[in-house]
Amino acid sequence: MGYEVWGLIRGQANPRVRHLRQLLGDVRLIRGDLLDQGSLIAAVERVQPDEVYNLAAISYVPMSWQQAELTGEVTGLGVLRVLEAIRVCSGISSSRTPGRGQIRFYQASSSEMYGQVRESPQTESTPFHPRSPYGVAKAYGHFLTQNYRESYGMFAVSGIMFNHESPRRGSEFVTRKVTLGAAKIKLGYERQLRLGNMHASRDWGFAGDYVRAMQMMLAQDSPADYVIGTGVTHSVEQLVDTAFRAVGLNWRDHVVTDAAFIRPAEVDRLCADPSKAKDELGWEPKIGFEELIAMMVDADVELLASSGGSAGEEFGTDSW
């Protein structure tokens, strides 16, 4: 698409870099850390980007109770540091608003901000009631992005993304845990899958569709926030049923619930109203739930067959 893409990497000898290079041959990498303001300023100065996408976060909800302060620093204050890096490098102050050619900023906001939902489906104007330190930190990033738009006239927008999945999803998240679990049981590597709350429901979509929406948001004439989701909700139990049926198994023979995966506060049901994105961006998801889960199960069967059953263990699926 004519993009030159740079990825920000953190840490010394980060073990994910090798994996990343195999996956994304064309992406150039630059060092920087959301905890380090100077490193972000240096990265923006070096790359001179037209667009910045902040997809970085501590994003696993259970971990946000274990490391609540770090989640606030990375997922919340990290947004401030990226916005400040853009502002400083663009020479924007309250008395000097950006001109043409300004850097456009995308913030990955989350449906977890709705938490205990006030209405269903959720729109751009549904009030937030986050239910985890992660949701609280994302709400901070969301409001700060709006605030930088209003304070400095920056082209800064948030996509309120509902859960988006793909075969690349970490195995600690329920979709991948289930597709990997079903594939392992099918191939005889395991007999049982232990899960938490089977009654929770989510609006699950395909990550590729959501990335397309991000790009469309930054290509608009004027900055605005959008809900991105499918508008269709399924329970964890329906997810499990779909994944196990895809490999010809009955989930009831293999899935057990385990209190270790129950969270201190739960988000029961999320469902997007993506009409604004459809009307203004012309965005619609191309891949539905059944197709998404079948894609993930197929990819996991293939991965396990080629790796001798050890796939997905780099992240672990331990309880929190």
* Closest chain position to ligand GDP (CB): 200
* Catalytic residue check, 158: no
Residues of this chain, 236-275, that bind ligand GDP according to CB under 6 A: 236, 261, 263, 266-267
Q: Is 202 in the site for ligand GDP (CB under 6 A)?
A: yes
The upper half-sphere exposure of residue 282, i.e. CA atoms within 13 Å in the direction of its Cβ, equals: 4
Q: How far is the CB of 262 from ligand GDP (least distance, A)?
A: 7
Q: Is 116 in the site for ligand GDP (CB under 6 A)?
A: no
Among the options 112, 114, 148, 210, which is catalytic? 112
Q: Find, among 164, 173, 177, 174, the residue nearest to 300 by Cα.
A: 177
- Beta carbon nearer to ligand GDP, 86 or 139: 139
Under rule CB under 6 A, residue 315 binds ligand GDP = no
Does 196 interact with ligand GDP (rule: CB under 6 A)?
Answer: yes
Q: Is 173 in the site for ligand GDP (CB under 6 A)?
A: yes
| 303 counts as binding ligand GDP under rule CB under 6 A | no
Q: Is the dihedral of CA 242, 319, 8, 52 positive or negative?
A: positive
Is 65 an interacting residue with respect to ligand GDP (CB under 6 A)? no
8 A C-beta contact, residue 134 and residue 83: no
**What CA–CA distances, in Å, run from 48 to 3, 36, 90, 104, 118?**
13, 18, 10, 11, 41
Is residue 61 at the binding interface for ligand GDP, with CB under 6 A as the rule?
A: yes
Q: Are 268 and 201 spatial neighbours (Cβ–Cβ below 8 Å)?
A: yes
Binding mask 148-167 for ligand GDP (x = CB under 6 A): ---------------x----
Active site residues: 110, 112, 134
Q: Residues in the site for ligand GDP, rule: CB under 6 A?
A: 61, 112, 163, 172-175, 177, 195-197, 200, 202, 236, 261, 263, 266-267
